[in-house]
């Protein structure tokens, strides 16, 4: 089933065990049942060879902002690596959560939660281009199939983090993967938790050199790719 977001839609959630947000629209959790932060570090950071590739002005882009956990995980690594200039992070999101929902989800990850406040304060006011001490974040609201083609920038690393390809196929389709490639900088990379065949084929058709590597936890495989 595909979902075509209308304007001004928001996340629809239930909470598993009172802590894990699950989308009722997509019938899928926002991150790993085991340890979302560890999964993010394995899949999206190590999968893009980060923090090793960080340089001043490094720009990450993401499909699916959700709770912001991936952004805060990247910012933690950025700080650990000693950068004081801003990390750039652009994410595409059709069904944004409220600041309170993000805050509740992030509470399960004290490290990430501890640095989230300046961002969440701005988010609660409706700001979607948010600059804090060492972060320039822009969350582009709307269906990524429309908003990404209109984006005039390119990222050094992409996080592909839609819900599972079976439940959210529109975020993995061929045309969108071509747009990801078009908006990847020279030498740009991407990583995703899925190794679904059609996603890998769409990425290869978009001009990425695609590699299957070890997944996180119970997931045997994940996918990384480099712009050819």
Ligand X SMILES: C[S@@+](CC[C@H](N)C(=O)[O-])C[C@H]1O[C@@H](n2cnc3c(N)ncnc32)[C@H](O)[C@@H]1O
Return residues touching ligand X (CB under 6 A).
5, 11, 30-31, 64-70, 92-95, 143-145, 161-163, 168, 170-171
Cβ-based nearer residue to ligand X, 93 or 103: 93
CB of 25 to ligand X, least distance (A): 8
Q: Tell me if residue 180 falls in helix, strand or coil.
A: helix
| Torsions phi, psi for 222 (to 5 deg) | -135, 180
Cβ-based nearer residue to ligand X, 58 or 193: 193
Cβ-based nearer residue to ligand X, 171 or 210: 171
Cβ partners under 8 Å of residue 72, min gap 6: 106, 109, 112, 115, 116, 119
Cβ-based nearer residue to ligand X, 14 or 209: 14
Q: Which helix (H) or strand (E) holds 210?
A: strand 208-214
Please answer whether residues 29 and 19 qualify as being in contact, where contact means their C-beta atoms are separated by less than 8 angstroms.
no
Please answer whether residues 106 and 118 qualify as being in contact, where contact means their C-beta atoms are separated by less than 8 angstroms.
no
CB of 145 to ligand X, least distance (A): 6
CB of 186 to ligand X, least distance (A): 25
CB of 27 to ligand X, least distance (A): 12
């Amino acid at each position: 089933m595909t979902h075509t977001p209308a304007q001004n839609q928001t996340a629809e959630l239930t909470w598993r065990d009172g802590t894990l947000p699950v989308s009722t629209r997509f019938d899928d959790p926002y991150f790993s049942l085991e340890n979302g932060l560890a999964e993010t570090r394995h899949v999206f950071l190590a999968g893009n060879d980060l923090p090793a590739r960080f340089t001043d002005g490094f720009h990450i882009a993401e499909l699916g902002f959700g709770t912001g956990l991936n952004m805060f995980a990247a910012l933690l690594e950025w700080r650990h690596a000693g950068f004081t200039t801003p990390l750039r992070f652009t994410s595409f999101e059709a069904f944004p959560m409220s600041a309170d929902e993000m805050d509740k989800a992030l509470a399960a990850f004290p490290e990430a939660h501890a640095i989230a406040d300046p961002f969440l304060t701005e988010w609660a006011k409706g700001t979607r281009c948010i600059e804090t001490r060492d972060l320039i974040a822009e969350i582009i609201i709307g269906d990524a199939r429309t908003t990404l083609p209109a984006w005039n920038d390119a990222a050094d690393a992409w996080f592909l983090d839609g819900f599972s390809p079976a439940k959210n196929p529109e975020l993995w389709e061929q045309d969108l993967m071509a747009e990801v490639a078009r908006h990847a900088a020279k030498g740009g990379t991407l990583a995703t938790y899925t190794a679904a065949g059609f996603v890998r084929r769409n990425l290869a058709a978009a001009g990425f050199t695609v590699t299957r590597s070890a997944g996180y936890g119970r997931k045997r495989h994940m996918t990384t790719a480099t712009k050819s």
